[in-house]
Amino acid sequence: MAAPCFFSRLWRAALALLALGSLAASQIEDQAKQFFRSGHTNNWAVLVCTSRFWFNYRHVANTLSVYRSVKRLGIPDSHIVLMLADDMACNARNPKPATVFSHKNMELNVYGDDVEVDYRSYEVTVENFLRVLTGRIPPSTPRSKRLLSDDRSNILIYMTGHGGNGFLKFQDSEEITNIELADAFEQMWQKRRYNELLFIIDTCQGASMYERFYSPNIMALASSQVGEDSLSHQPDPAIGVHLMDRYTFYVLEFLEEINPASQTNMNDLFQVCPKSLCVSTPGHRTDLFQRDPKHVLITDFFGSVRKVEITTETLSLQRDSQITESSYKEDRMDEELMEPLKYAEQLPVAQIIHQALLAEVWTLPSAPCGMLGSRSWPATFTGSVLQLVTSPVHVLSQSSELHKVQF
């Protein structure tokens, strides 16, 4: 009795698989296109907390919670520039040394086990921040303090601190205006330092900070509208301060649900922290962005490029021998060049702007405005390496580390 029944089920399952297979065969090409839809090959994050002092604990916790999320989703420390104006974990007033909590009752320690702070305390200045963004950094600057992005980079910029209409205060001594920030992004665009940029700011009147942006491919979010204050959250009597700001708290809650394969898109991020929770009205701006936010995955910015998709189908991709060979050659060349590299040369400035690097003086030529018109966008995508594994399961992987040598 049991055996025929079992066989009939198996049969039906096999039939269904076949049917599915035929359907998938027609769609598989589309999926492959979708697969590379964001057009970026690497991810970077610049996370900035601009406030000092113990009572601004929440701003450090904000930044660390975003740090925790991007790191969890795959951006390595080498691709994160973390700027923290104060060291809350080691503050003498902290009753729980070496921790920074984002939730009451010590539920979530966002300080974690290893935090690599690139710019700390008085290094967090407007000048340093703008230098990191625009890449105009002294040659002696170590690699960990640079934003080594290129025109295939998706960059997440998160800022938090005390702000007002049109400015964000850095420490107690200076502030960055929305115009300065917009100009910095334009410089980044002209120097081909990003592919797409996601800007998030959690501060009072945060929306004022993105209203002056004019460079393409920027999506911006803010915790509050002009004229609104952003409010704190999670008061903790044991620690004696507010642990988080409302907006970032709910963003963190949202990001905790994301995993590297999540298909959650930006529209979902826009819905985070409605006014009933935030008290302020979060804002977003997408008019500079080329793609429809609904097709932009959260992991396009919060995760590292990790284009692995497991299919059961065999997909025959055109093998372009020329590309493979040239990339292989360049790989070889890179190995040969290894010894005499200087820090300054690690930034492929000359390659990016197609100009010869001056022999001794490391100066950047002024941004090539003329090039902008002639530049085709999106740039050709031929450089990426597709490694094909000929096994029943095909793995398409696009390494985020390999991209540099290909241009």
Partner 1 sequence: MGLLSDPVRRRALARIVLRLNTPLCVLSYVAGIAWFLALAFPPLTQRTYMSENAMGSTMVEEQFVGGDRAQGFARDFAAHQRKSRALPVAWLERMMRSVGLEVYTQSFSRKLPFPDETHERFMVSGTNVYGILRAPRAASTESLVLTVPCGPDSTNSQAVGLLLALAAHFRGQIYWAKDIIFLVTEHDLMGTEAWLEAYHDVNVTGMQSSPLQGRAGAIQAAVALELNSDVVTSLDVTVEGLNGQLPNLDLLNLFQTFCQKGGLLCTLQGKLQPQDWTSLDGPLQGLQTLLLMVLRQASGRPHGPHGLFLRYRVEALTLRGINSFRQYKYDLVTVGKALEGMFRKLNHLLERLHQSFFLYLLPALSRFVSIGVYMPATGFLLLVLGLKALELWMQLHEVGVSPQEAGGSPNPGPPLPGAQGVSLASLLAPVLISQAMGLALYILPVLGQHVAVQHFPVAEAEAVVLTLLAIYVAGLALPHNTHRVVSSQAPDRGWMALKLVALIYLALQLGCIALTNFSLGFLLAATMVPAAALTSPHGPRPFYAALLMLTSPAAILLGSLFLWRELQEVPLSLAEGWQLFLTALAQGVLEHHTYGALLFPLLALGLYPCWLLFWNVLFWK
Q: List active site positions.
A: 162, 204
Establish how many alpha carbons lie within 13 A of residue 208's alpha carbon, considering only the half-sphere containing its beta carbon: 18
Strand-by-strand arrangement of the 119-120 sheet? 119-120, 80-84, 42-49, 153-160, 196-202, 218-222, 283-285
* C-alpha gyration radius of the chain: 24
Instruction: Return the number of the residue (153 or 203) whose C-beta is nearest partner 1.
Output: 203
Query: Cis (ω within 30 of 0) for the bond into 378?
Result: yes
Report the nearest approach of partner 1 to the CB of residue 109 (Å): 17
**Per-residue mark of binding to partner 1, 125-144 (x: CB under 8 A):** --------------------
Out of 146, 242, 403, 404, the residue judged to bind partner 1 by CB under 8 A: 242
Instruction: Return the number of the residue (73 or 243) whose C-beta is nearest partner 1.
Output: 243
Instruction: Return the number of the residue (10 or 106) whose C-beta is nearest partner 1.
Output: 106
Q: Is 5 in the site for partner 1 (CB under 8 A)?
A: no
Out of 238, 308, 393, 395, the residue judged to bind partner 1 by CB under 8 A: 238
Q: Is 92 in the site for partner 1 (CB under 8 A)?
A: yes
Out of 12, 37, 93, 294, the residue judged to bind partner 1 by CB under 8 A: 93
Q: Is 91 in the site for partner 1 (CB under 8 A)?
A: yes
Inter-CA distances, 360 with 138, 338, 345, Å:
14, 19, 11
d(CA 179, CA 155): 19
**Which residues lie closer than 8 Å to 232 by C-beta, 6 or more apart?**
58, 242, 244, 245, 246
d(CA 216, CA 238): 46
Out of 7, 11, 35, 55, the residue judged to bind partner 1 by CB under 8 A: 55
**Per-residue mark of binding to partner 1, 256-295 (x: CB under 8 A):** ----------------------------------------
Q: Which of 199, 149, 133, 156 is nearest to 303 (CA)?
A: 156
Out of 53, 343, 362, 407, the residue judged to bind partner 1 by CB under 8 A: 53
**Cα dihedral across residues 386, 388, 394, 395: positive or negative:** negative
- List, in sequence order, every residue forming a beta bridge with 218; answer none if it has no partner: 197
Question: Candidates 92-100, 152-160, 341-349, 365-373 — which segment interacts with partner 1 by CB under 8 A?
Answer: 92-100
Q: How many angstroms separate the first and last alpha carbons of the chain?
A: 66
Site residues (CB under 8 A) for partner 1, limited to 175-204: none
Q: Is 105 in the site for partner 1 (CB under 8 A)?
A: no
Out of 132, 168, 201, 241, the residue judged to bind partner 1 by CB under 8 A: 241
Residues at the site binding partner 1, with contacts judged by CB under 8 A: 53-55, 90-95, 97, 235-238, 240-242
